[in-house]
Amino acid sequence: MLQPADLSPIPRSEAPRDCPLCPRLVSLREELRCEQPNWWNAPVPAFGDADAWLAIVGLAPGRRGANRTGRPFTGDYSGEIFYSTLTKFKLAQGTYRGEADDDVRLVGTIVLNAVKCLPPGNRPLPGEVANCRNYLESSLALLPKVRVIVALGQIAHGSATRALKLMPANVKFAHGAERAAADGRILLASYHCSRQNTNTGRLTKEMFESIFERAKELRQ
């Protein structure tokens, strides 16, 4: 199988449907293409506004969420709180119905993932996060109006830290933590809006909303 070193690092923001860089994720993808031929089962592209001032970096597609529907945060539990919060802050319009063909449209906002393919158990390996960072960096480079980057969860935050050329040792993850990159963009950390975090009270609705309130302040 083709390994990362065999591929020239061509900068581009979207992965090909059969991106071969992460063998473990490719195996799972191929297995699911046989089991669930009607699902997306491919790298999940960015979703949102090409003129975005706000980029949100999630972790990776959920099995029955983005991996099924092909749109970030769409089709599983986390999408409910995610899109309702964006709608409350006028960062999304339309009615979220959990399918990629609903009429949700993001306003000034784009959603990216640290890892574009479904990882087993929602846990990508460090090498997989590193492989996919090329796409994250390319996406951010193609979004010159982005001023604020909200990273959901520690893994996404770590990858966004590196994508922004910040020193990881100097950028600790904590809900609400902020850090300015050399290019003036602000990285804002949030707990991920997963069921695990919301059911345990680690992330409340108010805590999640406070991130987007702050993001809007930082835009000024």
- Contact segment (CB under 6 A) with ligand SF4 among 78-86, 112-120, 171-179, 205-213 equals 112-120
- Output the smallest distance, CB 116 to ligand SF4, in A: 4
Nearer to ligand SF4, 27 or 93 (CB): 27
Contact status, residue 193 vs residue 78, Cβ threshold 8 Å:
yes
- Output the smallest distance, CB 22 to ligand SF4, in A: 3
Contact status, residue 79 vs residue 24, Cβ threshold 8 Å:
no
Nearer to ligand SF4, 17 or 90 (CB): 17
Q: Which of 110, 115, 136, 189 binds ligand SF4 (CB under 6 A)?
A: 115
Q: What is the DSSP letter of 124?
A: -
Phi, psi of 204, deg, nearest 5: -95, 165
Q: What is the CA radius of gyration of the chain?
A: 16
Nearest 10 degrees: CA dihedral of 127, 189, 134, 123? 30
- Whole-number Å distance between alpha carbons of 151 and 129: 14
Q: 35-74: which residues touch ligand SF4 (CB under 6 A)?
A: 43
- Whole-number Å distance between alpha carbons of 28 and 135: 20
Nearer to ligand SF4, 131 or 198 (CB): 131
- Output the smallest distance, CB 51 to ligand SF4, in A: 24
Q: What is the DSSP letter of 216?
A: H
What the block records as the tokens of 164 is 């922004």
Q: Which of 116, 157, 179, 185 binds ligand SF4 (CB under 6 A)?
A: 116
Q: Which of 54, 56, 117, 186 binds ligand SF4 (CB under 6 A)?
A: 117
- Whole-number Å distance between alpha carbons of 81 and 102: 16
Q: 121-180: which residues touch ligand SF4 (CB under 6 A)?
A: 128, 131-132, 135
- Binding-residue total with ligand SF4 (CB under 6 A): 13
Contact footprint for ligand SF4 (CB under 6 A): 15, 19, 21-22, 25, 43, 115-117, 128, 131-132, 135
